[in-house]
Structure 1
Amino acid sequence: MKKTINIQKNLKIFGIPLFIIALMIAIAKSPIFVNNPSELSLAITFDLLLTVPIVYFLLIRKTKIAKTTVVPFIIIGLITCTLILPSENQYYLNLFKTWILPIVELSVLTFVIYNIRLAIKKYKQNQTASFDFFTTLKNTCYEILPKSAVIPVVTEIAVFYFGFIHWKKRELKKNEFTYHKNSGTVTLLIAIIFIIAIETVTLHILLAKWNATVAWVLTFLSIYSGIQIFGFIKSMFKRPISIENNKLFLRYGIMNESTIDIATISSVEISSKDIELNKVTRKLSFLGELESHNVIIKLKEENILVGLYGIKHKYKNLALYVDNKNEFKLQLSNATQQLQNN
């Protein structure tokens, strides 16, 4: 019964704004618009850019839905206007793009920065947990964007943040552990970047003789791929594995991560033996069998491994590489013992 009520409520909240958008599209494609383009262009622009966001806001004002989700409806209205209105009837739309849209963009950026700074401030006041930029960015964006858009957007931001902005050396705490120093992964990824660079130059020269546009498009995609891999590498230096507050935070840069309640751990085995990867047994590394492991964690119940762009996989056994494996196991054993004593 409660589920049915929630479905009806969501249909109302999202259905009414979407109905208005659909109605505006129908009007723009109708013979009425052809006969009255100037007047209807103003009305359609007003409804899509103002009426729809306002109606949506009024529908969510007494719900738990973040008020900042009005922004995606403004963007949808903007895109719809651009697509359905002839260029000669986009005068008011262009005014909105010139004067209002920059204010919206600046407000969103300010909101994100403010929340991240607030999280940093809280962390400094009460250091019971390690500050993690990637996690904070996700939590902030969940208040602004639709859930389906959060992970792709956060991943792209994080690639550039870790790759080109965050250069300060990460000082490890006693409860934090690296996993990139001795595994060989960084060397492998750097080699891939060099291979991409060499192939890009060669391929560009060959394709340019046939089609310059295609050559530059593929070159741009190759450069972008190299930038992403560089961001992945840097994120491994900045996001260590940590044990805190009765939880084990497993991170593999921004590529893979999982949070384990220490109480659900069945055993921690120091082992480099080959294992069969399947739906029950996985590796923390996104490279899978290409990367070695030296620790195997077995759980009492299923858990979730979150990969790139929010792709989720279930597991009960997880193999990973930890540079200081013995200290890692010791601290996990101590945390488990302390939990049992309490």
Structure 2
Amino acid sequence: MALHKRISFFFLLLLIVSSNWLIYRLDIVSSHPPEMIWGSLFDFMLVIPLLTYFYFIHKRYSLTYIFPVMAAGYFVARFVIIPNDYVHTITSLGYIVIGAEVLFIVVEFYIAYKILRTIPTIVSAYRVYYARVPLFSYALKKALKDSLPPNKLIDVFTTEINMFYHAFLSWKKRPIKRDDAYTYHQKTSGIAIYIMLIHAVLIETIGIHYFLHQFSSTLSYILLALNVYTVFFFIGHIQAIRHNPILLNKDELILTYGLTSHMTIPYDLIEGIALYANKELPDKQRLKTAFDGRIADFIDEPPHMEIGLKEPVRAHYLYGMKKEVSTVFLRVDDPQLFLSTLKNRIHRN
């Protein structure tokens, strides 16, 4: 997305949020009629989700991604923007609020029930896939795909499991070392960048939480929870980068880049592969239909190689987001050996 579009979106978002927050706290209106409260809910549950859809979602993702934005807008309006005293003055709104909260809890319990009921099947499938490919992320996604029907919320749940496993349960495991495993982070500053981000978030958490708590304790605790989640995410992402190298499996190329992206490419769908000769970075237009196999670095380096595909292959991203790609750009720690081995695998197939 162009920079001016991002700026305009965040300007509109700031305008909507600040105007709604101030109108309840600066006595701009001497009384707060029901229409004002309905207007705030309209802004957060319809206007902001529609802006998000037209600015970010509609050209890349399914319309269903607007519903989490609506849910987030509802909770921000209900617990941060509109004071409780005003919410409960409208009987019908109170019923809607209670109904929405109950519905959300019911959906959460239903998903948990569906997963718990199929845990033996999931565990059995996971063991089969893990014995074949010893990557937690790969085996988990395959097992859940085989055991549960397609569902956006399942995709979100999968991301959360993957994050908490790598953040808390992967420390005793050693990164796999096999002849067909190739690391992509050891010759970059990627992990150092994420460690710096963790420090920055922790410092920001202390300062902003103290500052916001003077104005809105609810908002300060929400931001505190989000910052804690962000720290866990970065820790999990670092561990996932370490424990999930690129694998040249028997029949397919398995790419897993931390928690953020992954895809599997059968060798018979690879049309060509070559070293990336251009010293310039891939342009944004090409990256729209490409899988970018480069992790964050202090200096943005061009990829080592470019893989062309015979037909588009689906790449998977956070929380079930997907993209059809026709090109794959890769950086690996040993590009010459990787390229030679990959060409041999393609030739055999």
TM-score when normalising by structure 1: 0.62
Specify which of 253, 258, 266 is matched with residue 258 of structure 2: 253
Change (3 A) 1:122 1:256: closer
Deviation at 1:117, TM superposition (A): 5.0
Q: What letter corresponds to residue 321 of structure 1 in structure 2?
A: R
- With over 3 angstroms needed to count, the CA separation of the structure-2 counterparts of 1:314 and 1:108, relative to structure 1, is closer
The verdict on how the C-alpha distance between 1:298 and 1:220 changes in structure 2, with shifts beyond 3 A counting, is same
Preserved CA contact (<8 Å) 1:120 1:131: no
Asked if the contact 2:193/2:297 (under 8 Å) is kept, the reply is: no
- Which amino acid in the other structure matches residue 119 of structure 2? V
Structure 1 residues 154 and 107, CA, compared in 2 at 3 Å: closer, same or farther? closer
Residue matched to 2:292: 283
- Change beyond 3 A, Cα 1:250–1:200: same
Contact 1:235–1:253 (CA under 8 A) maintained in structure 2: yes
User: 1:232 offset after TM fit, Å?
Assistant: 1.3
Question: Hey, what's the Cα distance between the residues in 2 that align with 1:163 and 1:122?
Answer: 22
Structure 1 residues 288 and 112: alpha-carbon distance in aligned structure 2, compared to 1, 3 A threshold: farther
What SS is found at the alignment partner of 1:248?
Answer: strand
Unpaired runs of 5+ residues, structure 2, are 1-96, 103-108
Aligned partner of 2:139: which letter?
Answer: T
User: Is 1:131–2:134 an aligned residue pair?
Assistant: yes
CA gap of 1:249–1:121, structure 2 versus 1, over 3 A, is closer
Aligned length: 241
Cα distance in 2 between the residues matched to 1:238 and 1:113: 25
1:198 to 194, 203, 206: 203
Q: Which residue of 1 aligns with 2:337?
A: 327
- Aligned positions of 1:169-208 closer than 5 A: 169-208=174-213
CA distance in 1, matches of 2:116, 2:137: 16
| CA shift in 2, pair 1:122/1:241, >3 Å | closer
How far has the Cα of 1:288 moved from its partner? 10
Q: Quote the residue 1:140 is aligned against.
A: 143
Query: Shift of residue 234 of structure 1?
Result: 0.9
Identity across matched positions, percent: 23
Which ranges of 4 or more aligned residues in structure 1 deviate by more than 6 Å?
none
Q: CA RMSD in A?
A: 3.2
Select which of 298, 322, 330 maps to 1:312. Answer: 322
Q: What amino acid is aligned across from residue 329 of structure 2 in structure 1?
A: A
SS of 1:303 mapped into structure 2: strand
Work out whether residues 133 and 139 of structure 2, in 8 Å CA contact, stay in contact via their aligned partners in 1.
Answer: no
Instruction: Name the SS of the counterpart of 1:179 in structure 2.
Output: coil
Alpha-carbon distance in 1 for matches of 2:184, 2:327: 18
Give distance in 2, aligned partners of 1:218 and 1:205. 11
* Contact 1:183-1:321 at 8 Å conserved across structures: no
In structure 2, the partner of 1:269 is: 275
Written as runs of structure 1 = structure 2, the 5 A alignment for 1:103-142 is: 108-109=115-116, 111-112=118-119, 115-116=122-123, 119-120=126-127, 124=131, 129-142=132-145
CA contact (8 A) 1:193 1:229 kept: yes
Q: Within 5 Å, which residues of 2 pair with 1:1-342?
A: 108-109=115-116, 111-112=118-119, 115-116=122-123, 119-120=126-127, 124=131, 129-142=132-145, 143-144=147-148, 146-167=150-171, 168-263=173-268, 264-271=270-277, 273-274=279-280, 275-278=282-285, 279-285=288-294, 291-292=300-301, 293-339=303-349
SS of 1:222's partner is helix
Unaligned runs of 5+ in 1: 1-81, 88-100
Change (3 A) 1:304 1:316: same
Q: Give the superposition deviation at 1:139.
A: 3.4
Q: What letter matches 1:165 in structure 2?
A: L
Aligned to 1:323, the other structure's residue is in SS state: coil
Give the direction of change, closer, same or farther, for the CA distance of 1:286–1:203 in structure 2 (3 Å limit). same
Assess if the C-alpha contact under 8 Å between 1:236 and 1:253 holds in 2: yes
Name the SS for the 1:257 alignment partner: strand
Q: Is the 8 A contact 2:167 2:235 kept in 1?
A: yes
SS class of match (1:201): helix
CA positional deviation for 1:249: 1.0
8 Å CA contact 2:185–2:295 kept in 1: the answer is no
Shift of 1:300: 2.9
CA displacement at 1:122 relative to structure 2: 6.9
- Tell me the TM-score normalized by structure 2: 0.60
* Structure with bigger RCO (C-alpha 8 Å, 6+ apart): 2
- How many angstroms does 1:107 deviate by? 8.7
Query: Is the contact made by 2:166 and 2:236 (CA closer than 8 Å) also made in structure 1?
Result: yes
Per the TM alignment, residue 200 of structure 1 is displaced from its structure 2 partner at its CA by: 1.1
Say which is worse superposed, 221-230 or 296-305, in terms of deviation: 296-305
